[in-house]
Amino acid sequence: MANWRALDALSGNAAAGAAVKANAYGLGAGRVVEALASAGCRDFFVAHWSEVPALLPHASPAMIAVLHGPLTREEAAFARQTGVRPVINSLHQAAIWTQTGGGICHLMVDTGMSRLGLSMDDLADPLLRSLDIDICLSHLASADEDSALNLIQRDRFAQVRSTVAAKRYSLANSAGIALGADYHADITRPGIALYGGIVRPELEGRIAQVIRPEAALIQVRKLRPGDTVGYNALFTASRPMRVGTLSIGYADGYLRSWAGKGAFTHDGTIAPVIGRVSMDLTIVDLEALPQCREGDWLTAAYSLPESSRLTGLSQYELLTLLGERFSRQNGG
Q: Which residues are catalytic?
A: 21, 231
Q: Do 189 and 17 meet the contact criterion of CB atoms below 8 Å apart?
A: yes
Q: In the chain, which residue ranges form alpha helices assigned H by DSSP?
A: 2-10, 21-25, 29-39, 52-55, 73-82, 91-99, 148-163, 174-178, 304-311, 315-320
Please state whether beta strands 104-108 and 132-137 pair in parallel, antiparallel, or not at all (unpaired): parallel
Taking the chain, what is the end-to-end CA distance rounded to the nearest angstrom? 15
- The closest alpha carbon to 6, from 190, 187, 212, 144, belongs to 190
The DSSP code sequence of 217-266 is EEEEEEE-TT-EETGGG-EE-SS-EEEEEES--GGGT--GGGTTT-EEEE
